[in-house]
Amino acid sequence: MFVFALFQESYRLNRLLTFINPHNDPMGSGYIYIQSIEAIKSAGLWGQGFTFSGNLPEIHTDLIFSYMVYTFGWVAGAIVIMLALALIAIMTGVFRQIKDKFGKLLVAGLTSILGLHFLCNILMTVGFAPISGISLPFFSYGGSQTVINMAMMGVVLSIYRRKNLVTNPIQINKHQL
């Protein structure tokens, strides 16, 4: 089904081929890949400051990780990755403490969504994944995605607050029958 969907529209195949080798069309569809990777490579350990003169579209949403690394350096990029891993680890710890099955499944799903968003965005900015419309949670600018991320964290915190509650099946009293 993946191959059928890939060949159904010509732009999908073009995106895949551009991801595989962005240097085939460096001024066209491969431009974003090349510029994002060059920004990260030229950052250095402590960054270049607020002197970014490149031309990356959607730098405030999709490519924010490239801009942060260019501006603040590889150290800041490592800190962002460590913060993302710490958040996922904390949410996994919350998952282990919850006794309610529904709450456990909800936290597992929200943890996987946030983890995939972090992973996809970081991998696409360094050139290991195709560029998609996935923004970096809690760092990227964007109204609806930020609200959704905050709502997901609110749900997880609400479930954690009630972590010791267990749903009991309805008990029927013998005298009620």
Q: DSSP characters for 89-145?
A: HHHHHHHHH---HHHHHHHHHHHHHHHHHHHHHHHHHTTSS---S---TTTS--HHH
Q: What sign for the dihedral angle of Cα 134, 139, 142, 146?
A: positive
Task: Please compute the mean of the pLDDT values over residues 10-24 and round it to a whole number.
Answer: 83
- In the Cβ-directed half-sphere of 98, how many Cα atoms lie within 13 Å? 23
Identify the band that residue 168 occupies on the pLDDT scale cut at 50, 70 and 90. Answer: low
Is the pLDDT confidence value at 18 over 80? yes
Helix pair 31-41, 64-72: axis angle to 10 deg: 30
Is the pLDDT confidence value at 172 over 60? no
Task: Please compute the mean of the pLDDT values over residues 158-174 and round it to a whole number.
Answer: 71
Give me the pLDDT at residue 57, please.
80
Give me the pLDDT at residue 20, please.
87
88 within 8 A of 103, measured Cβ to Cβ: no
Give me the pLDDT at residue 175, please.
56
**What confidence tens digit (pLDDT) does each residue in 141-153 have?**
877 888 999 999 9
End-to-end, the C-alpha distance of the chain in Å comes to 55
Is the pLDDT confidence value at 176 over 90? no
Q: What's the whole-number average pLDDT of the chain?
A: 87
Is the pLDDT confidence value at 101 over 80? yes
CA–CA distance, 145 with 115 (Å, rounded to integer) = 15
Higher-scoring residue by pLDDT: 58, 62: 62
Is the pLDDT confidence value at 137 over 90? yes
Give me the pLDDT at residue 81, please.
97
